[in-house]
């Protein structure tokens, strides 16, 4: 495995190559340009080597022929310089801070944070490195973990702190940091037999309170809605290195299906690093249209946005299998959605005594 | 200090009294009614004993004369029964779960979660106990803490786990649980000299990365936007029991001023427990209109909602002092707001090397 320094060294090297290519093109009398994959659903292809969805071959050109394109290249050069400086000084920065730092970049100033976020992702694609190696952090908190997993986390001082995610943490669990690569986190031992990644904090707390970790040797990961990259990478590493089965427990609505898809297949926004982030073996144990009927769950009416999102999923290559097509179609037909906490209709223990044991057994997970 | 069991015993006792009063009124041939304080800005009064803002004497009656009122009483009875059952079984529930549990209550079913949340608060007011004693939890995560504070947290098994919030935690810090009363958490020792409560996760991480805890003996608390009750109670206990000065570092906009007000003076929604939650000595070190000028910070234009919120604050009794009136007026005049991360305009160290030392020194905190 690459070490901290060599990962960052590679990032600087590859980023510098991008900037050098601008200069080389200008030296040759050409208007500098940069090629990027088209980043939309149209250009998502199945990568059978890694079993995940990645960008296909559709490309878009960014050139300095237009003022906007030239500005974007200026921003690229400034950003690369900023990243280089952070790595040299052992600092990191949130994406928001980088946006504000650009105040001092004259014409290279970003107009919106979307612009700077996208550029960070573009640089990942072109350099084949990860944002975490650029020392750029997102704003959101990492999610929480609870269960019998012992890991070491590298401290700022360079010590390795050993933490058991059941015994050494408070009730709120172990907080996943933004960098979860092996230079930061190492898995030491694991008594848990499988992972349940959970959409809502309320349900995470329910499983903790009901002693699900101990009773079934489960490792619980709180997804916090659409999961952060660090959470997805953490799950991927557990799946690969500890060979634990991964299950995803969400609400029953189109947005939750997307949460599952981003864990299992890769998200469209981060399709260039799906092989780092996605866990293709992850199984869905969230609320389905069938569950709404079988368990007679309290529901809400689908909104127009919900219906639009379900229809979009029907044309999303990631959802093109029998299970998803039939469940999405059934939800469109019944015009209803439901939440994971709706299982409380049958009392606070129903989810841990009945629903999850039934679903997990159906998925072939031995309890 | 009251113990766990006696707090919960008191809750059951006081809630049962409420239900008994319904029966007594019916026995006497009266239509049952329940009196509640009016819960709006109009009815907020300064409580000089605790130095916080609490509900005044304006009252509203809830009676079974109307169908809606009768339904509300039915819900009250069911809710009290549910709380009693949880306490007897050593369980707790999210507010969302209680909403779904009510599916089985026939005519007592809640129509929306707002309705069940409000009832939980009503019961706090009438019983003079706290929602945490009813074993009702919010959905949101507790915030994070980083700094030299050693505490013990009671585990589910009844052991006291000792945690130092600097040395025994990962990069993401110690997660505050939903119950932070002394039956759950005890402060053991503290090397930190003052508290900075911080609005955004990005700024919290910035101070952690820049070593602010170690360099200035600061205890950092992440507010996560509008802070949860457990976060405010945690800060209050640190202020009272450890006698540390509390400072609040937020963005410079009307919503952030409200965050400060809820920490320092008490929130309107929870004014019945301001003396538990509010820390009247908390000082504001967030971005002000003066800072926008003095530090020449990047700004955004005030939206119509921002202007409305600033004007509402001018008529809010909690903001009726010279400092706030002049800063709010100045912001309205310049029509601009700014974020705490905007300080990154001057580089990643500016906030810890320049801004915070200047502000803290101005507040009389010795660094």
Residue B1: the pLDDT is 35
Average pLDDT over residues A50-69: 88
Query: How far, in Å, CA of B299 to CA of B339, rounded?
Result: 8
Q: Which residues pair with A145 in a beta bridge?
A: A174, A221
In this predicted model, what pLDDT tens digit does every residue of B61-90 receive, in sequence order?
889 999 999 999 999 999 999 999 999 988
In this predicted model, what pLDDT tens digit does every residue of A92-108 receive, in sequence order?
999 999 999 999 899 99
| pLDDT higher at A39 or B249 | B249
pLDDT-derived band of residue B141, with 50, 70 and 90 as boundaries?
Answer: low
Residue A1: the pLDDT is 35
Is the pLDDT score of B305 beyond 70? yes
Confirm or reject contact between A252 and chain B (CB < 8 A). Answer: no
Among A2-6, A164-168, A246-250, A306-310, name the one with the lowest average pLDDT. A2-6
Decide if B175 and A97 are in contact by the 8 Å CB cutoff.
no
| pLDDT higher at B287 or A156 | B287
Is the pLDDT score of B4 beyond 60? no
Query: How far, in Å, CA of A123 to CA of A134, rounded?
Result: 9
Average pLDDT over residues A221-244: 94
Can you tell me whether residue A302 is helix, strand or coil? coil
Is the pLDDT score of B142 beyond 80? no
pLDDT-derived band of residue B226, with 50, 70 and 90 as boundaries?
Answer: confident
Listed residue (B199, B229, B214, B21) closest to B121, CA to CA: B229
In this predicted model, what pLDDT tens digit does every residue of A280-300 receive, in sequence order?
999 999 999 999 999 999 999
State the pTM of this model: 0.86
Can you tell me whether residue A16 is helix, strand or coil? helix
Residue A272: the pLDDT is 87
In this predicted model, what pLDDT tens digit does every residue of A324-352 receive, in sequence order?
999 999 999 999 999 999 999 999 999 99
Active site residue B100: yes
pLDDT-derived band of residue A141, with 50, 70 and 90 as boundaries?
Answer: low
Is the pLDDT score of B2 beyond 70? no
Chain B, nearest residue to A153 by Cα: B170
Tell me the shortest Cα–Cα distance from A47 to chain B, in angstroms. Answer: 34
- Say how many CA atoms lie within 13 Å of A127 toward its Cβ: 29
Nearest Cβ partner for B103 among A171, A209, A345: A345
Residue A277: the pLDDT is 93
Query: How far, in Å, CA of B337 to CA of B137, rounded?
Result: 34
Confirm or reject contact between B300 and chain A (CB < 8 A). Answer: no
Tell me which chain A residues have a C-beta less than 8 angstroms from the C-beta of B103.
298, 345
Decide if A100 and B142 are in contact by the 8 Å CB cutoff.
no
Tell me the shortest Cα–Cα distance from B177 to chain A, in angstroms. Answer: 6
Answer yes or no: are the C-beta atoms of B127 and B13 closer than 8 Å: no
Residue B50: the pLDDT is 81
pLDDT-derived band of residue B300, with 50, 70 and 90 as boundaries?
Answer: very high
| pLDDT higher at B51 or B322 | B322
Nearest Cβ partner for B175 among A172, A339, A343: A172
Listed residue (A5, A11, A364, A1) closest to A187, CA to CA: A1
Listed residue (A229, A230, A286) closest to A255, CA to CA: A286
- Determine which of B344, B350, B355 to mutate to test the interface with A (most A C-beta atoms within 10 Å): B344
Query: How far, in Å, CA of B10 to CA of B13, rounded?
Result: 5
User: Cβ of B254: how many Cβ atoms within 10 Å?
Assistant: 22
Average pLDDT over residues B196-219: 94
For chain B, the helix, strand and coil percentages under 3-state DSSP, each to the nearest 5: 50, 20, 30
Between β-strands A33-37 and A59-63, what pairing exists: parallel, antiparallel or unpaired?
antiparallel
Average pLDDT over residues A105-117: 91
Query: How far, in Å, CA of B300 to CA of B307, rounded?
Result: 13
Nearest Cβ partner for A170 among B93, B163, B201: B163
Contact map slice: A 159-178 vs B, CB within 8 A: 161, 163, 168-178
Average pLDDT over residues A142-166: 90
CB neighbour list of residue A2: distance below 8 Å, 6 or more residues apart: A10, A183
Catalytic residues of A: 100
> Pick the catalytic residue: B55, B78, B99, B100?
B100
| Mean confidence (pLDDT) of chain B | 92
Cα Rg, chain A, nearest whole Å: 22
Chain B, nearest residue to A180 by Cα: B171
Is the pLDDT score of A3 beyond 70? no
Residue B53, exposed/middle/buried by CB under 10 A (0-12, 13-18, 19+)? buried
For residues A257, A259, A264, A267, the Cα torsion angle rounded to the nearest 10 degrees is 110
Listed residue (B193, B171, B175) closest to B184, CA to CA: B175
Residue A6: the pLDDT is 80
Tell me the shortest Cα–Cα distance from B202 to chain A, in angstroms. Answer: 5
Contact map slice: A 310-349 vs B, CB within 8 A: 339, 341-345, 347-348
Decide if B97 and A140 are in contact by the 8 Å CB cutoff.
no
Is the pLDDT score of A54 beyond 50? yes
Average pLDDT over residues B210-228: 93
Among A328-342, B144-158, B187-201, name the one with the lowest average pLDDT. B144-158
- Three-state SS string over B26-88 comes to HHCCCCCEEEEECCCHHHEEEECCCCEEEECCCEEEEECCCHHHHHHHHHHHHHHHHHHHHHH
């Amino acid at each position: 495995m690459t070490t901290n320094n060599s990962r960052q060294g590679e990032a600087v090297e590859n980023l510098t190559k991008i900037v050098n290519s601008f200069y080389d093109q200008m030296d040759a009398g050409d208007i500098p340009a940069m090629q990027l994959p088209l980043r939309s659903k149209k250009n998502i292809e199945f990568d059978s080597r890694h079993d995940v969805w990645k960008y296909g071959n559709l490309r878009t050109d960014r050139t300095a022929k237009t003022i906007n394109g030239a500005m974007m290249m200026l921003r690229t050069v400034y950003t690369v310089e900023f990243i280089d400086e952070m790595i040299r000084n052992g600092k990191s920065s949130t994406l928001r801070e980088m946006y504000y730092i650009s105040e001092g970049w004259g014409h290279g100033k970003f107009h919106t944070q979307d612009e700077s976020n996208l550029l960070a992702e573009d640089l990942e694609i072109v350099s084949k490195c990860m944002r975490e190696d650029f020392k750029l952090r997102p704003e959101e908190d990492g999610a929480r973990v609870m269960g019998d997993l012992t890991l070491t986390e590298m401290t700022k001082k360079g010590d390795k702190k050993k933490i058991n995610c059941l015994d050494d943490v408070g009730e709120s669990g172990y907080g996943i940091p933004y960098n979860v690569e092996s230079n930061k986190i190492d898995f030491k031992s694991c008594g848990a037999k499988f992972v349940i990644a959970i959409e809502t904090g309320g349900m995470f707390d329910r499983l903790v309170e009901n002693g699900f970790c101990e009773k079934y040797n489960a490792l619980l990961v709180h997804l916090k809605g659409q999961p952060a990259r660090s959470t997805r990478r953490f799950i991927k590493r557990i799946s690969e290195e500890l060979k634990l089965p991964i299950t995803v427990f969400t609400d029953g609505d189109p947005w939750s299906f997307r949460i599952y898809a981003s864990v299992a297949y890769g998200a469209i926004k981060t399709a260039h690093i799906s092989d780092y982030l996605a866990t293709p073996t992850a199984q869905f144990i969230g609320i389905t249209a069938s569950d709404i009927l079988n368990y007679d769950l309290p529901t809400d009416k689908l909104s127009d946005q919900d219906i639009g999102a379900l229809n979009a999923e029907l044309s999303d290559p990631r959802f093109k299998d029998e299970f998803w097509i039939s469940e999405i179609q059934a939800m469109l037909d019944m015009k209803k959605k439901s939440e994971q906490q709706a299982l409380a209709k049958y009392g606070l223990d129903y989810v841990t005594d009945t629903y999850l044991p039934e679903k997990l057994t159906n998925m072939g997970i031995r309890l």
